[in-house]
Chains A and B, each alone.
Chain A
Amino acid sequence: MLLARFLGPRVWILVAVILAAAILVPLANLALPPDHALHVPSYLVPLWGKYVCYALLALSLDLVWGYVGILSLGHGAFFALGGYAMGMYLMRQIGSRGVYGNPVLPDFMVFLNWKELPWYWLGFDQFWFACLMVVLVPGLLAFVFGFFAFRSRVTGVYLSIITQAMTYALLLAFFRNDMGFGGNNGLTDFKDILGFPIQAASTRAGLFAASCIALAIAVLLVGWITRSKLGKLMIAVRDAESRTRFIGWRPQYVKLFAFTVSGIMAGIAGALYVPQVGIINPGEFAPVNSIEVVVWAAVGGRGTLIGPVIGALLVNYGKTVFTAAAPEFWLFMLGGLFVFVTLVLPRGIVGTIDHGWDALRSIRRAKDAEKDESGGDAQAVPGPAE
């Protein structure tokens, strides 16, 4: 009861659904026989796992865009950095099973004639270290970037453009072979994670469950942040930034907090994504990826917490269906969808439902008030005279 009041029933329903999926999908995949009606085929588990990671990415964008009004067009960069950190761990797990059989150096380094591991690859043979970097690297980039951008009061379109420039710069950097991240090909051919074979159905089921749990925790975290006084302040900054300054708040720190937390969430999403798709390459930094995230959040309804999660799942499901049918049309579809949502459903799916609901309620309340007034006016008249 208390918990329901704390975040509202909707958030708890979403969390319950996500956690149920975390248990039921692996069960239906592993425990049910293949001819059972409810059996989930093995190829679907990592695909759905990918959607869940995208949902987490969309939620992270919602925290900054929906609640603080920072339209980041560079969230794909944090996602990719988290993915690379995880990819580096997976590369080092390959060990001497690579094509060249070098126990320490990943294949692409041997191919480039490198003699020893670059310093920034040290430590990535440890899972805990990789996890630390998954959080630290995107978090630090978000913090440093946000610190300078928000301190200089860069807002609106200008901020969107520099976030886009940031992810583009990283794209170019990661394409270079001498950066030591596998260049064009990225990191791939992973063998196992924490000792479990990465292709095995049970490992994939485990990764799916882990992604769901991460998403559920993130939903609760964002719910908690946005319902606190800080969350109210975020919305205040979104709607009237300069007003918050004149009552003594420093909006740059509010933004910095949200941006950093959001960058970390995106990084974790990327780290969970990479072992499920089996590859990370510079393409993940592509500006269009970050723009897609904005479309997911917009479709679901920004600033609604559950909207972006639903939006990411729906749009990506649509993407899978459409790219199978007519791959060359997908980008047009995506563009069309964004235009449609912006023009017809500016609040997104969940936002529109909410708004309709609110409108209905206020109409009903106005009617009630009218009834009250017609009955209550006679008594109210002596009031002001006293």
Chain B
Amino acid sequence: MSDSIIQKVADEFRALSEPQGNARPPAGPAPAAAEPVGNGAVHGEPFVSPHPYATVLHDRRLAAEAQGLARRDTLLYLNGVTKSFDGFKAINNLSLVIQKGEMRAIIGPNGAGKTTMMDIITGKTRPDKGEVFFAGDVDLTHHDEAAIASMGIGRKFQKPTVFESHTVEDNIRLSLAGPRSVLGALVHRKDRAERDRIETILETTRLTARRKTYAANLSHGQKQWLEIGMLLAQDPELLLVDEPVAGMTDAETEETARLLREIAQHHSVVVVEHDMHFVRALGVKVTCLHEGSVLSEGTLDKVSNDPKVIEVYLGR
């Protein structure tokens, strides 16, 4: 947490101290324009550097800034991420960018690395190589699961995991955004605002009638929905949803697509799903992963007509 704050302050300070660099070029080509000026000043003039390494550092800083600018407006930025398990590359030089407010569907055959990618984003797994940034400049590889969750990244697991010995209501109460201190929880009192929040979430996820039911007694579909409800309770900026409709009936699947579209109006969402009808119902940009990297990206029609994708799916 504190790291990210320091980083933010440092970035702002940098922006203030270089007003022209920031003001002139608004978007993409900015770094390219800024770089020669900086480099020229260093290499061209008889500039007496205190140490040759200072030049290297200077160049490195400029390069980092250039990349920082490209990153700035993204919500999630993965660059060259690699993760291997016992020599097997589950994620292989994966690069992926999610914009603020975007909903993205991720498809890919079994073992493509979709879940591992979510593990990396949420801090469960550390990548061997590569960059993972949230909201432009928060380096996620330096934070633990709890910190990342508190920053605003919520996650629904492939296998629904809810707190089985708690009621639906308590599951949501424990997930509600708010302070996360142990002693705070000890003296916590239920209040009106909290009840209202829970009420809204129960309504959104169609679980109002089951509020007092123990989560263990819910149907599979209802557990999936409860987990989505817990996600909503955290009020995250980015929702990572792993196979939300696995094991659902067609009607439930349709209902879930509707629910996710509704959620996507106010949040950014990344959905992993095998069910193509569901992905079509979402109607968003699709990324196909294969062997740990991006195989194809675009509209569902474009991706599903991509010969590489067809080969991967038919080859199995």
Provide the bound-state CA to CA distance between A235 and B164, in Å: 10
**Subset of 30 A-B contacts with CB under 8 Å:** A228-B185, A228-B187, A228-B188, A229-B174, A230-B182, A230-B185, A230-B186, A230-B188, A232-B170, A232-B174, A233-B174, A233-B185, A235-B166, A236-B163, A239-B163, A239-B164, A242-B124, A242-B161, A243-B162, A245-B144, A246-B122, A246-B157, A247-B175, A248-B146, A248-B234, A249-B174, A250-B144, A250-B180, A253-B182, A257-B182
Provide the bound-state CA to CA distance between A229 and B163, in Å: 14
The reply on A225 being an interface residue by CB < 8 A is yes
Set B124, B164, B165, B188: member contacting A229, Cβ < 8 A? B188
- Output the least CB separation between B225 and chain A (Å): 16
Chain A residues closer than 8 Å to B183, beta-carbon distance: 230, 257
Set A235, A246, A249: member contacting B155, Cβ < 8 A? A246
Chain B residues closer than 8 Å to A257, beta-carbon distance: 182-183, 186
4 additional contacts (CB under 8 A) given A228-B187, A236-B166, A254-B182: A239-B164, A246-B155, A247-B175, A249-B146
The reply on B269 being an interface residue by CB < 8 A is no
Chain A residues closer than 8 Å to B146, beta-carbon distance: 245, 248-250
Provide the bound-state CA to CA distance between A229 and B173, in Å: 9
The reply on A240 being an interface residue by CB < 8 A is yes
Q: B122, B124, B162, B185: which has the most chain A beta carbons within 10 Å?
A: B185
- Output the least CB separation between A257 and chain B (Å): 5
Are B188 and A245 touching (Cβ within 8 A)? no
Provide the bound-state CA to CA distance between A250 and B123, in Å: 13
Of all chain A residues, which has the CB nearest B185?
A230
Those of B172-217 within 8 Å (CB) of chain A: 173-175, 180, 182-183, 185-188
Interface string of A238-281 (1 = CB under 8 A from B): 01101111111110011001000000000000000000000000
The size bracket of the interface on A is 20 to 34
Interface string of A147-189 (1 = CB under 8 A from B): 0000000000000000000000000000000000000000000
Are A245 and B182 touching (Cβ within 8 A)? no
Provide the bound-state CA to CA distance between A1 and B297, in Å: 63
Are A243 and B188 touching (Cβ within 8 A)? no
The size bracket of the interface on B is 20 to 34
Q: A228, A233, A240, A257: which has the most chain B beta carbons within 10 Å?
A: A233
Are B185 and A248 touching (Cβ within 8 A)? no
Chain A residues closer than 8 Å to B185, beta-carbon distance: 228-230, 233
Those of B123-139 within 8 Å (CB) of chain A: 124
The reply on B149 being an interface residue by CB < 8 A is yes
Of all chain B residues, which has the CB nearest A250?
B146
Chain B residues closer than 8 Å to A254, beta-carbon distance: 182
Are B122 and A248 touching (Cβ within 8 A)? no
The reply on B74 being an interface residue by CB < 8 A is no
- Output the least CB separation between A238 and chain B (Å): 8
Are B165 and A245 touching (Cβ within 8 A)? no
Chain A residues closer than 8 Å to B124, beta-carbon distance: 242, 246
Chain A residues closer than 8 Å to B182, beta-carbon distance: 230, 233, 253-254, 257
The reply on B35 being an interface residue by CB < 8 A is no
The reply on B150 being an interface residue by CB < 8 A is yes
- Output the least CB separation between A189 and chain B (Å): 43
Chain B residues closer than 8 Å to A235, beta-carbon distance: 163, 165-166
Of all chain B residues, which has the CB nearest A235?
B165
Given A243-B163, A246-B145, A253-B182, A232 and B175 touching (CB < 8 A)?
A: no
- Output the least CB separation between B84 and chain A (Å): 22
- Output the least CB separation between A363 and chain B (Å): 13
Of all chain A residues, which has the CB nearest B216?
A239
- Output the least CB separation between A95 and chain B (Å): 43
Provide the bound-state CA to CA distance between A291 and B43, in Å: 73
The reply on B117 being an interface residue by CB < 8 A is no
- Output the least CB separation between A250 and chain B (Å): 5
Chain A residues closer than 8 Å to B165, beta-carbon distance: 235, 239
The reply on B282 being an interface residue by CB < 8 A is no
Chain A residues closer than 8 Å to B161, beta-carbon distance: 240, 242-243
Pairs of residues from A and B, 8 with the lowest C-beta to C-beta distance, nearest first: A248-B149, A245-B145, A230-B185, A229-B188, A230-B186, A248-B150, A236-B163, A229-B185
Are A247 and B230 touching (Cβ within 8 A)? yes
Chain B residues closer than 8 Å to A243, beta-carbon distance: 157, 161-163
Provide the bound-state CA to CA distance between A239 and B146, in Å: 17
Provide the bound-state CA to CA distance between A253 and B122, in Å: 20
- Output the least CB separation between B172 and chain A (Å): 10
Chain B residues closer than 8 Å to A250, beta-carbon distance: 144, 146, 180
- Output the least CB separation between A235 and chain B (Å): 6
Provide the bound-state CA to CA distance between A257 and B181, in Å: 11
Are A240 and B163 touching (Cβ within 8 A)? yes
Provide the bound-state CA to CA distance between A361 and B23, in Å: 69
Chain A residues closer than 8 Å to B173, beta-carbon distance: 229, 232
Of all chain A residues, which has the CB nearest B156?
A246
Those of B106-123 within 8 Å (CB) of chain A: 122
- Output the least CB separation between A305 and chain B (Å): 15
Chain B residues closer than 8 Å to A242, beta-carbon distance: 124, 145, 161
Given A248-B149, A250-B146, A228 and B180 touching (CB < 8 A)?
A: no
Of all chain B residues, which has the CB nearest A228?
B186
Chain B residues closer than 8 Å to A233, beta-carbon distance: 174, 182, 185
- Output the least CB separation between A302 and chain B (Å): 13
Chain B residues closer than 8 Å to A228, beta-carbon distance: 185-188
Chain A residues closer than 8 Å to B145, beta-carbon distance: 242, 245-246
Chain A residues closer than 8 Å to B155, beta-carbon distance: 246
Of all chain A residues, which has the CB nearest B145?
A245
Chain A residues closer than 8 Å to B166, beta-carbon distance: 232, 235-236
Q: B124, B164, B182: which has the most chain A beta carbons within 10 Å?
A: B182
Chain A residues closer than 8 Å to B230, beta-carbon distance: 247
